[in-house]
Every structure is written in C-alpha cells, then in structure tokens.
Homo-oligomer: A and B are copies of this chain.
Amino acid sequence: MRGRSGRRPGKPDTRGAILAAAREIFAERGYDGSSIRHIAASAGVDPALVHHYFGNKEDLSMEVVKAPIEPAAVMEEIFAEGIEAAPENVVRAFLGVCEGPVSGPAFLGLLRGAVAHQWQALLLREFFTTQIARRVVRRLGTAVDPAELPLRASLVSSQLFGLALARYVLRIQPLADAPREVVVAAVAPNIRRHMIGALDAGDREAV
C-alpha cells in the first residue's frame, strides 16, 4: 500500500518495522517508559534510524496514534441497526478497537500517554470531541434535548475510558478476562442511560 512504484523488495520496510515496534512498546510501557533505544532494539534496527525516519520521539508517538482509527466507518457500524441497538454496538465497537492488533496498542498507548502528559491528554480529548462525540450527537439528532448532549457525550466517554482502564491497563479481575459479550451485556445498559435515558435517577425503582 505504501507506494507501489518506489521502493522494491530487498528493503523490507524498516520504517514499518519501527512503527510496529513503537506501537507495542508505547502501549505496554507508556510514553516515558519507552525509550527510542528499546524501540529500535525491538525492531532490530539502529536507534539512529528511528530519528532518521521520524524526527523525534514526540513525532513518532503521533504517527503511531494517527494511524488506525476510522471514525466514519465505525459510526456506520454502530448505528446500522438503529438507535435502539446503538449502545450495545458502541461497546462492541469500542472493545473491537481496544483489542485490534493495531488499533488496540495505538489507543492504549494514547490513553497511557494522556495520563502522563497534558499534550497527549489534549490530543485524546480533541479526538473524542471532534471525531466521536460530534458524530454521535449528529446521529442522536432530536432524540434527546440538544442542550444536554455535551454532558451525555462526556459521561459516555468516562464509562468507556474506565472500561479500557480497568480491563486492559489495570487488568482488574474478573473484568479483565471476561468474555466480550458479558462485558457488552453488563455495560451497554449504562451507556444507553447516558445516551438516551434520564440524566438523573428518575427511572429508579426497578432495582
């Protein structure tokens, strides 16, 4: 996919190897815990090459993150079965991203970085508000009061981020090893509440 015409065999994509290694290292050790030396070693190349292909560490991490998420396509998937099934599909899609071979490490790396550095937190925040929240809001249309949409979006984010944190980063059991559909069944109703349900405890009595 990378330029059919330019490069030819023989040079099996050092750049790609570095990128792949970076993705994994960043995801599992965080930004600060990952050194360029480690990444280079893991990719089997010289550290100087990392600087050669990507300018510096920050740029490299941006590249890693930027790669793999297609909000538009994911949205289609989520709302394909209508608004009533959306919450389940949100959770399903989110788990899919987190467990994807490339999107997973990328997102988890970003999440880890966001906790450590403000500029990465800003990146994550920006991504969610402009790419996710905004699109969801548009889909929800007039189903709920537009004035409360931002709060709803931030609540959904918090639940989803919490899920990723507990399941993949902190690895709290048994949530960490629970089957996907168990997780979907458990948290989708909460997502539904935050998306289209009552924002206060008005619907409570049915324990």
Q: Is the CB of A160 within 8 A of B162?
A: yes
On whether the beta carbons of A200 and B174 are closer than 8 Å, the reply is no
A33 in complex: contacting residue of B32, B159, B167, B171, CB < 8 Å = B32
Confirm or deny: A204 has a beta carbon within 8 angstroms of a beta carbon on chain B. Answer: yes
- Using CB atoms, name the residue of chain B closest to A28: B118
A172 close to B207 (CB less than 8 A) = no
Complex contacts, A150 vs chain B, CB 8 Å: 173-174
Residues on B with beta carbons closer than 8 Å to the beta carbon of A194: 186, 190
Q: Mark A143-184, 1 if CB is under 8 A from B, else 0.
A: 000000011001101111111011101111111101000100
Residue on B nearest A163 in the bound complex, by CB: B158
Interchain CA distance A197-B206 in the complex, whole Å: 8
Asked if A199 lies at the interface with its beta carbon under 8 angstroms from chain B, I say: yes
Q: How large is the interface on A (under 10, 10 to 19, 20 to 34, 35 or more residues)?
A: 35 or more
Please, which residue of chain B has its CB at the minimum distance from the CB of A167?
B158
Chain B residues near A188 (CB-CB < 8 A): 201
Query: How many copies are assembled?
Result: 2
Q: Does A124 contact B (CB under 8 A)?
A: yes
The answer on a CB contact under 8 Å between A166 and B172 is no
* A116 CB–B CB distance under 8 Å: yes
* CB-based contact A170/B165 at 8 Å: no
- B206-A165 in contact (CB<8A): no
What's the dominant secondary structure at chain A's contact region? helix
- A189 beta carbon closer than 8 Å to chain B: yes
> Bound complex: CA of A132 vs CA of B30, how far in Å?
27
Q: Which of A30, A112, A115 counts the most chain B CB atoms within 10 A?
A: A115
A54 at the interface (CB under 8 A from B): no
Partner of A172, one of B125, B193, B200, B204: B125
Q: Are B158 and A173 in contact (CB under 8 A)?
A: no
Cβ B192 vs Cβ A207 within 8 A: yes
The 15 sampled A-B contact pairs (Cβ below 8 Å) are A32-B33, A32-B116, A84-B207, A114-B169, A115-B165, A125-B172, A151-B174, A151-B182, A154-B174, A154-B175, A157-B172, A162-B165, A186-B194, A186-B199, A186-B200
